[in-house]
Chain A
Amino acid sequence: MSTETTETIQSEIDANDVVLFMKGSPVFPQCGFSATVVQVLSQSGVRFKGIDVLADDALREGIKAFSNWPTVPQLYVKGEFVGGCDIVREMFENGELGELFTAKGVETEA
């Protein structure tokens, strides 16, 4: 992975409280797993930045190496990797995701 890609990813997760690396955009997800996480975040009432990895091959491969995680979507909260679709959905269903947002000081509208 190029230094430039690493820096791009790092600057996004530094600049935004909640970042979702996904396939497609929040409005038009291109994958069911990405769509699920978008839905969870919307229901949680958090503002997030969606980054479409399909738009950039370097980013698509780079995010996997960056997180040491072979699949997309990937959710970051305050710079910390939270997980992919399975983990985020499970944390939403048992209330842990809301607790995480509160603990990290992320504003929710819900």
Chain B
Amino acid sequence: MSVKDAIEAKLTQGLAPQGLVIVDESASHAGHAGAPAGGESHFRVEVVADAFSGLSRIERQRMVYDLLAEELAGPVHALALKTMAPEES
């Protein structure tokens, strides 16, 4: 399974999102310090989920970080996040 597929599977299972966009931005970071060869290291993720309603930005991002702990400890070098409740999207 690619890293992108793993991110999609875990966020889908963990958050039942109404909207989910995952963009692999590794290409634009290729070659810089710490960027592994082969890509799948830099991602931008936008999630719309009921689960975020009433939570602070920090709490929302922690939910995502917890679900993706394995990826963040491994191949994922950078993760840009936009977390929205349905009424904010």
On whether the beta carbons of A83 and B61 are closer than 8 Å, the reply is yes
The residues of A that contact B57 with a CB separation of less than 8 Å are 83, 87, 90-91
22 contacts between A and B (CB under 8 A): A30-B33, A31-B78, A33-B78, A68-B62, A69-B58, A69-B61, A69-B65, A70-B69, A70-B72, A70-B73, A71-B78, A71-B79, A83-B57, A83-B61, A84-B61, A86-B61, A86-B81, A87-B57, A87-B58, A87-B61, A90-B57, A90-B82
Scan residues 7-61 of chain B and give those whose CB is less than 8 A from a CB of chain A. Answer: 29, 33, 57-58, 61
Scan residues 81-95 of chain A and give those whose CB is less than 8 A from a CB of chain B. Answer: 81, 83-87, 90-91
- How far is it, in angstroms, between the C-alpha of A90 and the C-alpha of B82 when the chains are bound? 9
Interface size on B, residues (CB 8 A): 15
Scan residues 30-60 of chain A and give those whose CB is less than 8 A from a CB of chain B. Answer: 30-33
Closest A residue to B45 using CB positions? A86
The residues of A that contact B73 with a CB separation of less than 8 Å are 70
The residues of B that contact A33 with a CB separation of less than 8 Å are 78, 80
The residues of B that contact A31 with a CB separation of less than 8 Å are 78
Interface residues of A (CB under 8 A from B): 30-33, 68-71, 81, 83-87, 90-91
On whether the beta carbons of A86 and B82 are closer than 8 Å, the reply is yes
Nearest first, the 5 closest Cβ-Cβ pairs linking A and B are: A87-B57, A70-B72, A86-B81, A70-B65, A83-B58
**Nearest Cβ in chain A — how far from B66, in angstroms?**
9
The residues of B that contact A91 with a CB separation of less than 8 Å are 57
Closest B residue to A81 using CB positions? B58
- How far is it, in angstroms, between the C-alpha of A33 and the C-alpha of B34 when the chains are bound? 14
